[in-house]
Chain A
Amino acid sequence: MAANRSLTLPYDPELAVSDAPLLEQSDEAEVSRSSGQSRQRPVKVLAGIFLSSLFLLTLILTLFQGQEEPRDQSQMINANLNKSSPSSPVSPHSLIPASRGVPQGVSEKTFRGVSDANDVYPWTNAMLSWQRTSYHFQPEKNWMNDPNGPLFHMGWYHLFYQYNPDSAIWGNITWGHAVSRDLIHWLYLPFAMVPDRPFDINGVWTGSATILPGGQIVILYTGDTADLVQVQNLAYPANLSDPLLLDWIKYPGNPVMIPPPGIGKKDFRDPTTAWLAPDGTKWLVTLGSKVNKTGIALVYETSDFKGYRLLDGVLHAVPRTGMWECVDFYPVSTTGDNGLDTSANGPGTKHVLKASLDENKHDYYALGTYDPKNNKWTPDDPELDVGIGLRLDYGKYYASKTFYDQNKKRRILWGWIGETDSEAADLMKGWASVQTIPRTVVFDKKTGTNILQWPVEEAESLRFNATEFDTVKLEPGSIAPLNIGSATQLDIIASFEVDSEALEATVEADVGYNCTTSGGAASRGKLGPFGLLVLADGSLSELTPVYFYISKSTDGSAETHFCSDESRSSKAPDVGKLVYGSTVPVLDGEKLSARLLVDHSVVESFAQGGRRVITSRVYPTKAIYGAARLFLFNNATGVSVTASAKIWHMRSADIRTFSDL
């Protein structure tokens, strides 16, 4: 039963605005001719004058260059500052919290001398151990990054992953390995591959699996060689009839692909799953690279996975997107509901091309048409091309990879969720990074312009203790606690209806709203924000709003935004505090709906059936364990909202080592 309270939310929007610094827009001499004199004199004079003027010019240029840019540079830095956290210095009396500061990888603030410091919140073991997830895949300890070679074989789903056996920061990369019957309950296995050959001694990096028609499995992966060159290597199971695929053989003839002419030795990595060429006998595989600042996907052809021929041209290229990492390329059905084998093509299919952009650590995708005869993929909408259009996930999410699950005929998507706390905290807690709950991927037939992602149905097996809240009326500026008990492991499905009269009556509202620059849920508009407050403590000193925000332009068209606001998620100053999100298409007659998976320091939020997804990392200091609460809220000024929610508690997935090896 939800108690409705009309409350002014405990943050003053004006304060909120002033807390968030506005984005600042960033950043001779004469040569005398002699006539009739001897030749030697003019040459000497010429030479002397030429050299002096050159010298002067050099001096001037050096002085000039030395002065102008640094000022521009500081403007650029200011423009990229972390907008949400107040710039209060951090006191040292704590358990080594080092601030990662700006998780987007932008240069830090300028150095400041000692000033009045706020007390930093010292990380306790209780706070740090709470952060560990309960039903997301993560190793027992240490660092993980990209998911690798996902596949289904003999009743088991396999996941491999980039892993550092020695530390909670990146380095010494091996292939970790885990198996599961249901993509949820995972069992750790020994490493599949370690860097032990000249062709991968400096790193066994990301790769993909291809299952051939006869059942043979091949893996192509990037190796960093003894000479620090990125190459592609072939590996295959030592024993194909082993359901656990414990042992792998690296093809002695490796590498099978080396950087071609014109491609940098360090710009050649992450081969995809292969698909059949039009002739039906050869295979094609793609991997990303760059030429200057143009991101590209190269395509190779092979008949035996040992010998490769680089196809002419590129599958696709997009200027100014930089290096394409973890390229993914696969068909989706425009008519059916199932996933498609990676080799499918023809009428009723579109192809998704996806790249992880090294420059901004985001995953982008686009829908388009694949013409294998000409080795060309063309986006449906060039304005929303790879790297400049839609993102798979608008939060902390990278290096994603799909596979075709032939068991249940689904296309399944894995993604790496990194940390947004400090490296020091990662080292203290002894681990860094988790994987998302695997998501099914289908074409959105209703919009035709995006894919839909949704947690695999097996996740529902963790649900217990459902609580339903029906038609909770939220007046402007109200919150409603949802008393469900423990609130750190939840599966929430919520829908929201905005008072249609008020919506119609509102002529113009917040044109130009943008989740990332909005200042979060504290910024009130006529038609938003409203949604859920997760990982909130009772006094709302810490809270993570996941919300909708409607903006309307004067021509009457409305835009719906879906955001996840970390700006007040934690009192600790050394964690990411960004507001993530984007617009989300909402079709006539649709209610606004969201599904949230809350699992300690990870929140995965899905809007409109998975049209847009946001993964957040949250590190509260108070809203943890029994103190974490859940609320509905409506911070709009001009509309009431009616909300419904069904909330399940989620069991632990009990991820542990495979015991009978």
Chain B
Amino acid sequence: MRATHAISSKTLPCAILVLAIFVPLSSCDLIHSTCRKTPNFQLCASILRSNPKSGSADVRGLGLIMVGSLESKATSALHTIKQLLRTKPHLKIPLIECSKKYSFILKYDVTEAYEALRLGDPKFGEESMNDSAMVAQECEDGFKRFPCPITSVNKDAHDISAVAAAIIRLLL
């Protein structure tokens, strides 16, 4: 019948619209409820949502994604610092300190957090992420007398670490 036919042609796009709303809403639920318990909801949610694995991840998986995000941030921080050492030689001392700090974060804090989450003794991961937040802060604090050229990097690294620690806490 014509009327029914008219419905079908409009029902399908409606159904897609419904799915488009409901499906992301359910996986967003875990990201939402997890990120609400961290010190920086926006940062947490944007990092997790932009990672394709987050849709099917449990809380531990979200924690691993966040540690991975810190790893990327620390790695790119090292590159940035390397460039700045060439362009801003007057900042050599605090920049070298920062380089040491980000290497430390990568070699120790990120490694320990990955291991703790992977192996299933998350409390050690929480400690190392708390440690990493402070290390990022210390890099910032090194620029006592000059404007810090990597403040947003440091703030991101600090906040990502704090968010990761908070996510890991949910596993305890």
A residues near B (Cβ < 8 Å) are 38-40, 43-44, 47-48, 51, 54-55, 58, 65-66, 69-70, 73-74, 77, 89-93, 96-102, 105-117, 167, 169-171, 202-203, 205, 224, 228, 230, 265-267, 322-323, 358-359, 361, 422-424, 427, 574
A111-B140, A114-B148 known, 13 other contacts, Cβ within 8 Å: A40-B6, A98-B104, A98-B135, A105-B127, A107-B133, A107-B169, A111-B158, A114-B147, A202-B119, A358-B123, A422-B131, A422-B134, A423-B131
Stretch at the interface among B36-44, B71-79, B81-89: B36-44
> B14 is contacted by which of A39, A51, A89, A266 (Cβ under 8 Å)?
A51
Q: How far is the CA of A359 from the CA of B140 in the complex (A)?
A: 31
Q: Provide the main secondary structure of the chain A interface.
A: loop
Nearest Cβ on chain B to A56's Cβ, whole angstroms: 11
Take A55-B21, A73-B38, A228-B118 as given contacts and tell me if A171 and B155 are in contact as well, using a CB distance cutoff of 8 Å. Answer: no
B residues contacting the other copy or chain, number (CB 8 A):
71
- For A66, list chain B residues within 8 Å (CB): 41-42, 45
- For B151, list chain A residues within 8 Å (CB): 113-114
B67 within 8 A of A: no
B residues near A (Cβ < 8 Å) are 3-4, 6-7, 10-11, 14, 17-18, 21, 25, 32, 36-42, 45, 60, 93-94, 97-98, 100-101, 104, 108-109, 111-112, 115-116, 118-124, 126-128, 130-131, 133-144, 147-148, 151, 154-155, 158-159, 161-162, 165-166, 169, 172
Q: How far is the CA of A93 from the CA of B97 in the complex (A)?
A: 8
Nearest Cβ on chain B to A508's Cβ, whole angstroms: 40
- For A424, list chain B residues within 8 Å (CB): 104, 135
Q: Name the residue on A nearest B24 (C-beta).
A: A58
Q: Name the residue on B nearest A38 (C-beta).
A: B3
- For A116, list chain B residues within 8 Å (CB): 144
Q: Provide the main secondary structure of the chain B interface.
A: helix
- For B122, list chain A residues within 8 Å (CB): 358
Q: How far is the CA of A323 from the CA of B11 in the complex (A)?
A: 49
Check if A99 sits within 8 Å of B134, measured CB to CB: yes
The 9 A-B residue pairs whose C-beta atoms are closest, nearest first, are: A266-B120, A92-B142, A69-B36, A108-B133, A40-B3, A99-B134, A92-B97, A89-B141, A70-B41
- For A89, list chain B residues within 8 Å (CB): 137, 140-141
Take A40-B6, A102-B130, A230-B120 as given contacts and tell me if A107 and B141 are in contact as well, using a CB distance cutoff of 8 Å. Answer: no
Check if A92 sits within 8 Å of B148, measured CB to CB: no
Take A96-B104, A111-B158 as given contacts and tell me if A77 and B39 are in contact as well, using a CB distance cutoff of 8 Å. Answer: yes
Take A102-B130, A423-B109 as given contacts and tell me if A65 and B32 are in contact as well, using a CB distance cutoff of 8 Å. Answer: yes
Check if A361 sits within 8 Å of B119, measured CB to CB: no
> A112 is contacted by which of B25, B124, B126, B137 (Cβ under 8 Å)?
B137
Q: How far is the CA of A58 from the CA of B11 in the complex (A)?
A: 20
Q: Name the residue on A nearest B164 (C-beta).
A: A107
Nearest Cβ on chain B to A185's Cβ, whole angstroms: 31
Which of A266, A267, A427 has most B Cβ within 10 Å? A266
> A106 is contacted by which of B100, B130, B161 (Cβ under 8 Å)?
B130
Q: How far is the CA of A90 from the CA of B98 in the complex (A)?
A: 13
- For A47, list chain B residues within 8 Å (CB): 10-11, 14
Check if A98 sits within 8 Å of B101, measured CB to CB: yes
Check if A96 sits within 8 Å of B137, measured CB to CB: no
Check if A51 sits within 8 Å of B169, measured CB to CB: no
Take A51-B14, A169-B128 as given contacts and tell me if A90 and B138 are in contact as well, using a CB distance cutoff of 8 Å. Answer: yes
Q: Name the residue on A nearest B120 (C-beta).
A: A266
Check if A111 sits within 8 Å of B137, measured CB to CB: yes
Check if B111 sits within 8 Å of A171, measured CB to CB: yes
- For A230, list chain B residues within 8 Å (CB): 120
